[in-house]
Amino acid sequence: MALTLADKKQVVSEVAAVAAEAHSVVAAEYSGLTVGEMTELRVKARDEGVYLRVVKNNLTKLAIKGTDFECIQDSLIGPLIMAFSQEDPGSAARLVKNFAKEHNKLVPKVVSIGGELLDVSDLDRLAKMPTRDQALAMLAGTLRAPLDKLARTINEVPGKLVRTVAAIRDQKEANA
């Protein structure tokens, strides 16, 4: 079914709104995936906070114009599914990477983050980025480490005193 001009404008505005807010984008060739596999991919995308959409390349080029992802315009060739990370920068990369492990018909073609077009081999690096919760936990651990060390150091002083007194007592008992 062909899209009317109004439908095309709606698709462009929807994708443009998502692209303006997204952290990263991964475009992958999906030829050969069954309807069931595409549905499975869409369900996983929804669960992981990834906006997933099959859009004609010309409409995608119009939608990403003026966003950080304008750099991928020349790379949009062939039938592609667009995955925009909405919650954390690595979510779309993780989704595509993990799904492509199980389904070799999904082939990553374009990767971009922060206005920079990356090589497809950088998909693994982007996928390994921590989620927001993981990053906050790492920050909290880093901030807490000096406090823990200070507490151990302060606690060591009375402990050392107790061990010294106990050693002196043991020595006096041995001499008596």
Same domain? 59 vs 138? no
Distance CA 84, CA 55 (A): 12
Same domain? 52 vs 116? yes
Task: Kindly indicate the confidence band of residue 143, based on its pLDDT and cuts at 50, 70 and 90.
Answer: confident
pLDDT > 70? residue 22: yes
What percent of the chain is predicted at pLDDT more than 90? Answer: 10
Alpha helices in the chain (DSSP H): 5-21, 35-48, 57-64, 91-102, 123-127, 132-175
Same domain? 36 vs 86? yes
Task: Kindly indicate the confidence band of residue 52, based on its pLDDT and cuts at 50, 70 and 90.
Answer: very high
Which structural domain range is residue 161 located in? Answer: 130-176
Same domain? 108 vs 30? yes
pLDDT > 70? residue 1: no
pLDDT > 70? residue 84: yes
